[in-house]
Structure 1
Amino acid sequence: MIYCGIDWAEKHHDVALIDDTGQLLAKRRITDDAAGYRLLLDLLAEYGDTQDTPIPIAIETGRGLLVAVLRSGKGQVFAINPMAAARYRDRHGVSRKKSDPGDALVLANILRTDMPMHRPLPADTDLARAIAVLARAQQDATWNRQQIANQLRSLLREYYPAALDAIATWTNGLCRPEARELLKLAPTPAQAVRLTRVQLRSTLKRAGRSRGIEAEANRLREVFRGEYASQPRLVEEALGKQALALLRQLEAACLAADELTEAVEESFLQHPDAEVIVSFPGLGVQLGARVLAEVGDDRERFADARGLKAYAGSAPVTRASGKKHHVGRRMVKNDRLNHAGYLWAFSALRSSPGADAHYRRRRERGDWHAAAQRHLFNRMIGQLYHCLQKGELFDELVAFPTKTAAAA
């Protein structure tokens, strides 16, 4: 048996091949381009890598062109956490020396000694991997949009409280097109005071509003003409220019989030698992795509539902030593799936009577809100695992049976 370890870097990669006794068979440094990838594949083929007997490969990343080339065949690619690789490094020497060829050798030895303890990259379909790219990008764009909106809001509090009062009743606040159009038209309080009803109506129409324009224009005019403290004129103008700069970033972030939202919806609805996922209460297209992105469609990725629950961070972890015994929440998990699970469980409370009853029972037993939400997510993701394996849709009576149904 031969094992391969690859120490990944930006410009080059170090490769090490060892046999089942730990003997170094070959080491090579390849460039991060097509020529380097061909050299790596030729090296693996020279030592017996075929479609029927592929050489397992360990690398410290699960993405990038190099990983895509390695996954093109039937070989198993193991993405080893760099922190875990650092712990293994201490097994081969106590001097704490470090080098790229040495790290490649350490990765190869990880597979030689502990390959059953590590998971290969899942064999997801290309469509599932594409959905994962889009769903994660949409989630990042949403977080980035909110971060910029928070920066703009903090800036407006310093010199322009009327703008915050004007948008206080609008959902999504500064991320709404009406709010952005108003700030572009009047980035300072002095300019907002001079706005007429005609200008305000035109601004609301330009932002896409079609109802209640006259009443909203009158409300905005009264708010802008209210009594507020103000900065000196030069300082106010400078702050207005800073606000316009942030506003341009916010518009770009909003546009990116909207475009990615459309792309996620288009791709997700093409996947055969989409019907099963959106049948669950609390899971729509966007949140369902995030769940699919992290769970994948490789049915053999998780041996059972407990593995998926641990991966999602919903299952508790037990720490026991001697007389000490503690059961707490899991800290090492897939953060994206855990975040989606929290939103999923929260949304399910309104759309599923069984989920709401389960949550309330946990609260009555003494759980805090987050613990009850996590317990509900733990139950529902186990049900999702079952439905995906069997190809069944969510059934409220089966998922949360009543006492009458259970007795029957």
Structure 2
Amino acid sequence: MNRSCGIDWASDHHDVVLIDDTGSLLARARIDDTAEGLAQLLQLLAEHGDSAEEPIPVAIETSRGLLVSCLRATGRAVYAINPLAAARYRDRHAVARKKSDHLDALVLANILRTDAAAHRILPADSELAQAIAVLARAQQDAVWDRTQAGNKLTSHLREYFPGFLAAVGVRRNGVCHPIARVLLAATPTPTQAARLARAQLRSLLKKAGRKVTINAEAERLQTALRLPQMRQLPLVEEAMGRQTLALLRQLDAACTSADDLAEAVVEPFEKHPDAAIITSFPGLGSLSGARVLAEIGDDRSRFADAKGMKAYAGSAPVTRASGKSLAVLARRVKNQRLAAVGYVWAFASLTHSAGARAHYDRRRQAGDRHTAAQRNLFNRMIGCLHHCLTQRVHYDENSAFPATLDPQLPSVA
């Protein structure tokens, strides 16, 4: 007799329901989010036929957390059910729209009983891949925090110190650049900046890591910071300077975190067996490659074919057909982190691969906008990645973009 387990997850406790293949309730319990609670859950499963050879599958509405990690370590199939999907299933059991933790756990168990094939088991990624995923996601979060902090500081400086933005705006990273941060920490107001001597500017540039053309840069900055500009009242300007220092501390912390985590994730990624294959693709380095591996994992049974990986990445379009109506739209439900690194990957490949550039140009000539053409290129690349990882081969330009597709395209060496 097949059995299914549903767990309604909460922050401090979990409701557990166990049913048989007819939907009859076998057991129910509420366990704490502790080691004792986990032992109680495993004991409950063992009492109803759970074994190492035939573990009882579990459905839960989250893919992370200690409980999920411990259940996956037992070797059983764990299904992370989307809460929105679970809510739709709930209407089959409660027409009156009632809701309780026990009912939610029962719904999850019945999802496995009736529609397990329509949902995915959490992948059996290796310990190294899981560690890379933690670091890569943390680094990406730190980059997003850095961007947000930089935007806040830039917006604040426009209100009272636009001359500083004009002086450092020539740099690619703007206020996130080390020179801009060191300079702003020393002179948070226009009055203080205008008083800086060239010797002080040279010292600040050296402190920020500048090693060449220091004298010329110090002269340029002194001239730019002394240009006339609109000013706030003196006391208001001083107060806004204090606020700038507070925002700058947040930006410094975000920049430091992003840099430290970038180093931390590259080291384990380069030890992974898939690293050489992933970085063989044009536009993918160790950091962006680690982000890709973090989202697709190293369990090759996770995606049955390239279509599944493309849909997961959000590069494959969605077709909606009803009667005579047919619409092909961009996919909105996707792995946002993989889609984000895919945009960077596709953009970088344009300058590292003649085939990728020709593919992008062909899509543009066909009427695609820049974003759509890049998404199509990413779709092509993610399909090639699935093939290379499955067959354990490195990227080959001639196989990915054969010149025979279009005689007008330049041949790729």
Q: Normalising by structure 2, report the TM-score.
A: 0.97
Note if 1:150 corresponds to 2:130: no
Q: Deviations over 1:373-403 (max 9, x none)?
A: 1111111110000000111011111111113
Distance 1:200 1:37 in 2: 61
| 1:95 aligned residue | 96
Q: Does 1:164 align with 2:165?
A: yes
Tell me, in whole angstroms, the C-alpha distance in 2 between the residues paired with 1:194 and 1:367. Answer: 52
Partner of 1:58: 59
Q: Which runs of no fewer than 5 residues in structure 1 stay unpaired?
A: none
Partner of 2:333: 332
Shift in Å at residue 297 of structure 1? 0.5
SS of 1:130's partner is: helix
In the alignment, the residues of structure 1 paired with residue 227 and residue 331 of structure 2 have an alpha-carbon distance, to the nearest angstrom, of 51
Aligned equivalents of 1:196, 1:403: Cα separation in 2: 63
Residues 9-408 of structure 1 aligned to structure 2 (within 5 Å) = 9-403=10-404
Per-residue CA deviation, residues 129-183 of structure 1 (Å, 9 max, x unaligned), is 1111111110010000010000000000000011101111112111111111111
For the residues of structure 1 that align with 2:256 and 2:298, how far apart are their CA atoms?
Answer: 30
CA-CA distance at 1:370 after TM superposition: 1.3
Q: What SS does the corresponding residue of 2:73 show, helix, strand or coil?
A: coil
Q: Which amino acid aligns with 1:118?
A: H
Letter in 2 for 1:134: L
Take 2:159 and 2:270, find their aligned partners in 1: how far apart are those partners? 45
- Counterpart for residue 411 of structure 2: none
Amino acid corresponding to residue 84 of structure 1 in structure 2 = A
Separation of aligned partners in 2, 1:366 and 1:199: 54
Distance 1:328 1:405, change over 3 A: closer
Q: CA deviation at 1:405?
A: 11
1:226-265 C-alpha deviation (Å, 9 max, x unpaired): 1111000010011000000000011111111011000011
Q: Deviations over 1:5-64 (max 9, x none)?
A: 000000100000000000011110000111111111111111111111010100000011
How many Å separate the matches in 1 of 2:319 and 2:162? 50
- Secondary structure of residue in 2 paired with 1:151: helix
Residue type matched to 2:83 in 1?
A: P
- 1:173 maps to amino acid: G
How has the CA–CA distance of structure 1 residues 215 and 125 changed in structure 2, closer, same or farther, with 3 Å as cutoff? same
- How many matched pairs? 407
AA paired with 1:345?
A
Counterparts of 2:360 and 2:179 in 1: how far apart (Å)? Answer: 38
TM-score, length-scaled by structure 1:
0.98
Partners of 2:268 and 2:106 in 1: how far apart? 40
Aligned equivalents of 1:331, 1:205: Cα separation in 2: 47
Return 5+ residue gaps in structure 2 as ranges.
Answer: 408-413
SS at match of 1:26: strand
Whole-angstrom CA distance in 2 between matches of 1:70 and 1:403: 50
Aligned structure 1 segments of 4 or more residues deviating by more than 6 angstroms: none
User: 1:196-233: per-residue Cα shift (whole Å, max 9, x none)?
Assistant: 11111111111111111111111111011111110000
1:7 matched residue in structure 2: 8
Seen in structure 2, the aligned counterparts of structure 1 residues 404 and 326 have a Cα distance that, compared at 3 Å, is closer
Matched residue type, 2:238 = E
Shifted more, 324-333 versus 61-70: the winner is: 324-333
Amino acid at match of 1:6: I
Q: Do the aligned partners of residues 404 and 85 (structure 1) sit closer, same or farther apart at CA in structure 2, a change above 3 Å counting?
A: closer
Report SS of the residue matched to 1:36: helix
Q: Which SS does the other structure have where 1:29 is aligned? A: strand
AA in 1 matched with 2:360:
Y
The percent identity for this pair of structures is 63
